[in-house]
Amino acid sequence: MPSNSDAQNAETRGLTYADSGVDIDAGDRAVAMMQAAVRRTHGPRVMGELGGFAGMFRLDFNEKIFKRNYRDPVLVSCTDGVGTKVKLGADLGRIDGLGIDCVAMNVNDLVVQGAEPLFFLDYLGLHRQDPETTARIVAGIAHGCEIAGCALLGGECAEMPDIYAEGDFDIAGFAVGVVELDRATDPLRVQPEDVLIGLSSSGVHSNGFSLVRRIIDHARLDLSRCYPELHDPEGRSLGEVLLEPTRIYSQTIVNVLRHYRVKKVVSTMAHITGGGIEGNLCRGLPDDVDAIVDTDSWTVPPIFEFLQHHGAVETGEMYRVFNMGIGYVMAVRPAFVDSVIKQVRKLGERATIIGEIVAGSGQIELTTGTRASRG
């Protein structure tokens, strides 16, 4: 904040932008510090230099270095943020992984449509510009883009001391991808007997942190403590476990879909975010089928049981708010289940059959001990 001497000097020399709390020079330093990380995400499709008014990205090519052109391309876009997880990260001074969260929350939504992520844009709302802090956040975003296989094409850092309190900030992102029209996900392809494959989450991901923080306050939990109930093999503190970045599934999903160039073996998909399995899987179902999910078919990570116990949260509410260990769901034709599971596991994911599709009315039923027994 400007000091009394700053105010007195402003009266004699005239007001400047810095007097209002916005430091243009600090912003320029932040841009310079983040350029190397951003450039690492750029491939031959990115055009122009950093620092322009807008980024440019080539969608189609004639050059031989590119394996294929798009015949009937459809652009797919989405936007999302990290939510109040940023508050926890800011309070603990652990902000490096929040950029990965932001990328994940977007590209995981994008690939649900069958799309390949192309590029990403970020938006940072700041109390004030601290170049080192901003560069750390953007480096995390760039790392997330590298994992996702997309370019960090541009972004914006908005310094707004009248909007954000000291130490507060927000992160949002915008992703654009492309899919061939005849390869886009279509819920109408979902049929009874399709099998539901769940991909494990890396933890809480980036949803439900308002409840997480309420539980922490209610139970007076110590974020710096290593609780034995977490059964963490690395001996991490509660805060470190909660801040584990959201898993990015885009490269796995894109590779699996590309493996089947003719047959459409994946009927529908869902990114399990706010609303849990029930609130997200239903978004990809037609009105004439139901999804039966067996919650006994996977092991719920200890962090969720820990939060439920200390917050006295009902089981139904836990499944309505959190991913509970399943971050992404694919509905797959029965004949291809073993093949898809083999592929996703080879690509580093933990995959489990968690249920099936039956005739119905577009509902999701969470149950225990059902027919989800293969795998």
Least confident of 13-27, 159-173, 258-272, 328-342: 13-27
- Token pair of 61, please? 């090519």
User: In whole numbers, what is the pLDDT of the chain averaged over residues?
Assistant: 87
Q: What's the length of the chain?
A: 375
Query: How much of the chain exceeds pLDDT 90, in percent?
Result: 67
Q: Are 249 and 296 a contacting pair, CB within 8 Å?
A: no
**In three state form, how does the secondary structure of 77-136 look?**
EEEEECCCHHHHHHHHCCCCCHHHHHHHHHHHHHHHCCCEEEEEEEEEEECCCCHHHHHH
What pLDDT is attached to residue 20? 53
Residue 101 has pLDDT above 80, yes or no: yes
What pLDDT is attached to residue 372? 46
Residue 65: pLDDT band with limits 50, 70, 90? very low
Taking the complete model, does pTM exceed 0.95, yes or no? no
What pLDDT is attached to residue 56? 75
Highest mean pLDDT among 25-34, 149-158, 215-224: 215-224
**Rounded CA separation 264/256 (Å):** 11
- Mean pLDDT (whole number) for 177-186: 90
Residue 214 neighbours by CB distance under 10 Å: 12
What pLDDT is attached to residue 59? 73
pLDDT tens for residues 237-293? 999 999 999 999 999 999 999 999 888 999 999 999 999 999 999 999 999 999 999
What pLDDT is attached to residue 38? 66
Domains parsed from the chain with CATH numbers:
21-46+58-181 (3.30.1330.10), 187-367 (3.90.650.10)
**Rounded CA separation 336/178 (Å):** 25
- Mean pLDDT (whole number) for 91-101: 95
Residue 218 has pLDDT above 80, yes or no: yes
Residue 7 has pLDDT above 80, yes or no: no
pLDDT tens for residues 125-160? 988 888 888 889 999 999 999 999 999 998 888 888
Q: Are 274 and 301 a contacting pair, CB within 8 Å?
A: no
- Better-scored residue on pLDDT, 184 or 261: 184
What pLDDT is attached to residue 237? 97
**Rounded CA separation 21/260 (Å):** 55
Q: Are 251 and 347 a contacting pair, CB within 8 Å?
A: yes
**Rounded CA separation 355/352 (Å):** 9
Residue 228 phi, psi dihedral angles, 5° rounding: -60, -30
**Rounded CA separation 161/209 (Å):** 24
